[in-house]
Structure 1
Amino acid sequence: MSCPADPRTRHRRRLLTAVTAAGAALVVASCAAQAPAPPAPAPTGPAYGTRLQPELEQLARDLLVTGAVVQVRSGELGDWTTTIGTRTFRGGEPVQVGDHIRIGSVTKTWTGTVVLQLVDEGRLRLDDPVSAYRPDVPNGQAITIEQLLTMRSGLGNYTTSPEINERMDADPGAAFDPEELIAIGLAEPTGFPPGEGYSYSNTNTVLLGRIVEQLTGNPLETEIERRVLVPLGLTASSFPARTSSALPDPRANGYTYGTNVETAETNVLSPEKQEAARAGTLAPLDVTTSNPSWAWSAGAGISTAEDLVTYVQALVGGGLLTEGMQQARIESVRPIDPAAPELGYGLALARFGPFYGHTGELPGYNTFAGHDPERGNTVVVWASLAPSPDGRAPAVEMARAIIGELSGSGG
């Protein structure tokens, strides 16, 4: 279940993932060539977890995932946590629930929350034209803050640029300036007149990050820290400075089988590379400490499964915005494809069936964080490989299986 986005390019999916194409609508552990992880403990807990465990372990094998963590919170059916695989490729140390990972586009909801708080404070309005803050945006007088948040501005996506991909491959530690990213994005062709379509573009969110800095006079990391992370007690989460490529310990290393350039058009690797990966003759690239500044406000965040559970419950259930703004955020979610009305996107918030939240993918990590406000169920999954050689998003595939089980489960 990748974000509601154009599935033709890796970057439109890997940094965005929040709602998939209809065939993978709702929403890992070593690969066949890895040394076997320590045997899993005898299953305990709710019956749905016992049923899901072998299915998730098989998915992990099929998708060649190194490690994964699953957390489900359900007052109705009981809580369940499981871990699969190891912290490093062919390693022997199992992943842990408290391991740090990069959360990709879940970061967009942090940035979006800060923007909506500024709206609550009367410091900007959703119907303000972007040109009031960024005169350099083409047709900016016709693009609103709301359209940036809802991915309906029509602006191009800078992460499809060959320039970005080549530089990321040549220098994984490169620190990108947000203004450089914006300039590349604004030079891309627009997709449609503002408000007349939907196209997932990271340019939208980087613009919003810079507008936050303009209005507050503070670095975005400062505003995210004091407005989102500290109020919720998310002590294991952070929005790193652009110059930092560190991932705190404890951590799960992140892996990918394809370079940025060779997967620029599709996440699916060649049949030869897929076969080599399955046979164990092609090892994945360790991208744990690649600098995420190219994603900045759209995807550079760091967190843990436990923090994400707390966060997505507040994101969907309230606690960070005024009651009126929270309701407006939920109601803003609209279908992105008439053929798949269960998939939607709104004010930096995605919907997949009854679950609201977001997904995230950047090289090495795939995350799903969703909460069902009606049944009170919360699902958080991360995987330390992204994407799979066959193009699938591992955490999304696992979350889809979990949500399907919860939907039909009696316990």
Structure 2
Amino acid sequence: MKRAVTIVAVGGILALVSACSPAGSGAPASSPATAGPAYASALNSDVPDVMKDNAIPGVVVLITSPSKGDFTAEFGTAELGSDVAMSIDDHVRVGSNTKTMTGTVILQLEQEGKLSLSDPISKFRPDVPGGENITLAELAEMRSGLYSYTSDAGFNATLDSDPQKAWTPDELLAIAFSHPVNAAPGTEFEYSNTNTVLLGTVIEKVTGMSASEAFDERIFTPLGLKNTSLPAAADSSIPDPHAHGYQFGTNVSTIDSYAVPEAEQAGALDGTVKPVDQTKANPSWAWTAGGAISTPNDLAVYVKAMVGGGLLDDAEQKARFDSVQPIDPANPNVGYGIGIAQFAPGIYGHDGQLPGFSSFMAYDVTTGDTIIIGCNLSASPVTGENAAVVVAKSVIAELYGSSVVPPDDLEKDE
């Protein structure tokens, strides 16, 4: 997102990206897998390299692959300056991976005849500027043209000055609606957290329950996700075990880019420029656009069901895949649909980023491979890219070959 989720697609042809563990961090020795599939040795080398080159304190990697073999490993430190190892059981704020959950519930409600994707948002929120011409589908597909409240300077200043503020959806939407729209509905892809917060209000109005309750009843409980939740607005805690989460720079200074100024990059890499500990910052501002908490094991179960089937009937699942459109017409392999990203043909999922944490989840419908990455850093201070995506590029290159070239960052915002 910016502040809540970067759609950095790992697209069509993947390029081998050298990997990295932060210098000067006091990180403990990593705990890579000591045995496993043929690719394990390469990842045990590549991932620490990527961490070092991007000042990422800690990483967890979970891969399940029917043909290539399974792999689980933890690298780096869960707390800078302390000898605390990362754990595959750590809870992570999953950022914009939450958007896939919101999209799933919207599709379930259409399946039940309680709404239609062709409904205008004005049917549920008369206050949306031009809402009579914006459909629920356009919101879910990031084609509404509405301004994202997370780009507002005053909003970001409040995140810095009052990190424990419990935001309401109406406060967030008021910020968005105070700005002109960016485009006419349906004319262009533009990632906006406003879209998914609006869908969250639709879920609450149609179901008569909180979005947290709806997610739990419709997704978390049916899938047995005991370590996944969408916390209430006043709850800024994160369950144990969990790593400390870090971000270089303030929310105001990172509105345009998460990369630190060039003069500070060497310091970020050698540990003399310190990131901000954002572990306890209240993520209520992200809500149904990015506020969920999960674990790698839960995410693996979830993304397989979300992409492979189990949460929707066949018709709605097909509608979800059919909704995917290229983000950039020049790269048709990378697309976005109803709360779902296509990273390459047959590989779907999402990524997530908000202050302190980043994550990546993908499922390959052809091979049955699942890839989960969790990091306790928002973004690389060198490139500004989602830290988990930086690691994911290296992992995917190893799994699928180094002849593929990933696209540039498609969207900084979570």
TM over 0.5: yes
Matched, 1:305 2:292: no
**Match for residue 216 of structure 2?**
225
User: Displacement of 1:389 after TM fit?
Assistant: 1.1
Matched, 1:389 2:378: no
Contact 2:107–2:316 under 8 Å retained in 1: yes
Q: Which amino acid aligns with 2:239?
A: P
Matched, 1:157 2:156: no
Match 1:339 to one of 321, 330, 343: 330
**Match for residue 411 of structure 2?**
none
User: Displacement of 1:194 after TM fit?
Assistant: 0.8
1:349-390 deviations in Å (ceiling 9; x for gaps): 001013101000001111000001011111000110111211
**Match for residue 409 of structure 2?**
none
Contact 1:100–1:250 under 8 Å retained in 2: yes
Q: Secondary structure at the match of 2:214?
A: helix
Q: Which amino acid aligns with 1:404?
A: A
2:112 & 2:65 partners in 1: Cα distance? 34
Matched, 1:185 2:176: yes
**Match for residue 18 of structure 1?**
7
Q: Secondary structure at the match of 1:47?
A: coil
2:207 & 2:387 partners in 1: Cα distance? 38
1:42 & 1:323 partners in 2: Cα distance? 38
Superposed counterparts of 1:331-410, under 5 Å: 331-353=322-344, 354-390=346-382, 391-408=384-401
State which drifts further: 189-198 or 123-132: 189-198
Task: Note the residue ranges of structure 2 that are not aligned, 5 or more in a row.
Answer: 403-414
Distance 1:282 1:105, change over 3 A: same
State which drifts further: 154-163 or 24-33: 24-33
Distance 1:343 1:42, change over 3 A: closer
Contact 2:36–2:70 under 8 Å retained in 1: yes
Superposed counterparts of 1:207-246, under 5 Å: 207-246=198-237
User: Displacement of 1:157 after TM fit?
Assistant: 0.5
User: Displacement of 1:40 after TM fit?
Assistant: 3.8
Matched, 1:282 2:273: yes
1:156-213 deviations in Å (ceiling 9; x for gaps): 1000001110000001111111101011112222122111111000000000001111
State which drifts further: 102-111 or 18-27: 18-27
User: Displacement of 1:408 after TM fit?
Assistant: 2.9
**Match for residue 322 of structure 1?**
313
State which drifts further: 260-269 or 70-79: 260-269
Work out the number of aligned pairs and report it: 398
* Structure 1 stretches of at least 4 aligned residues deviating more than 6 Å after TM superposition: 21-29
2:352 & 2:211 partners in 1: Cα distance? 19
Contact 1:107–1:297 under 8 Å retained in 2: yes
1:125 & 1:95 partners in 2: Cα distance? 43
Q: Secondary structure at the match of 1:151?
A: coil
1:50-93 deviations in Å (ceiling 9; x for gaps): 12220111001111111110011100111111110121112212
User: Displacement of 1:22 after TM fit?
Assistant: 7.2
Distance 1:41 1:326, change over 3 A: closer
Q: Secondary structure at the match of 1:62?
A: helix
Distance 1:318 1:19, change over 3 A: same
Task: Note the residue ranges of structure 1 that are not aligned, 5 or more in a row.
Answer: 1-10
Distance 1:74 1:133, change over 3 A: same
**Match for residue 196 of structure 1?**
187
Contact 2:359–2:372 under 8 Å retained in 1: yes
Contact 2:32–2:73 under 8 Å retained in 1: no
1:23 & 1:389 partners in 2: Cα distance? 26
Superposed counterparts of 1:24-63, under 5 Å: 30-38=21-29, 40=31, 43-63=34-54
Distance 1:40 1:177, change over 3 A: closer
Match 2:245 to one of 246, 254, 269: 254
User: Displacement of 1:25 after TM fit?
Assistant: 7.3
Contact 1:30–1:37 under 8 Å retained in 2: no
Length-normalised TM-score, structure 1 = 0.93
Matched, 1:138 2:140: no
Q: Which amino acid aligns with 1:19?
A: V
User: Displacement of 1:24 after TM fit?
Assistant: 10
Distance 1:144 1:284, change over 3 A: same
Contact 1:99–1:249 under 8 Å retained in 2: yes
Distance 1:78 1:22, change over 3 A: closer
Q: Which amino acid aligns with 1:16?
A: V
Contact 1:29–1:37 under 8 Å retained in 2: no
2:368 & 2:9 partners in 1: Cα distance? 22
Q: Which amino acid aligns with 1:386?
A: S
Contact 1:86–1:94 under 8 Å retained in 2: yes
Length-normalised TM-score, structure 2 = 0.92
Provide the alpha-carbon RMSD of the alignment: 1.9
1:315-371 deviations in Å (ceiling 9; x for gaps): 001111111101111121111101121210001000101310100000111100000
How high is the sequence identity, in percent, across the aligned residues?
Answer: 44
User: Displacement of 1:23 after TM fit?
Assistant: 11
1:295-327 deviations in Å (ceiling 9; x for gaps): 111000000000000000000011111111011
Q: Which amino acid aligns with 2:216?
A: E
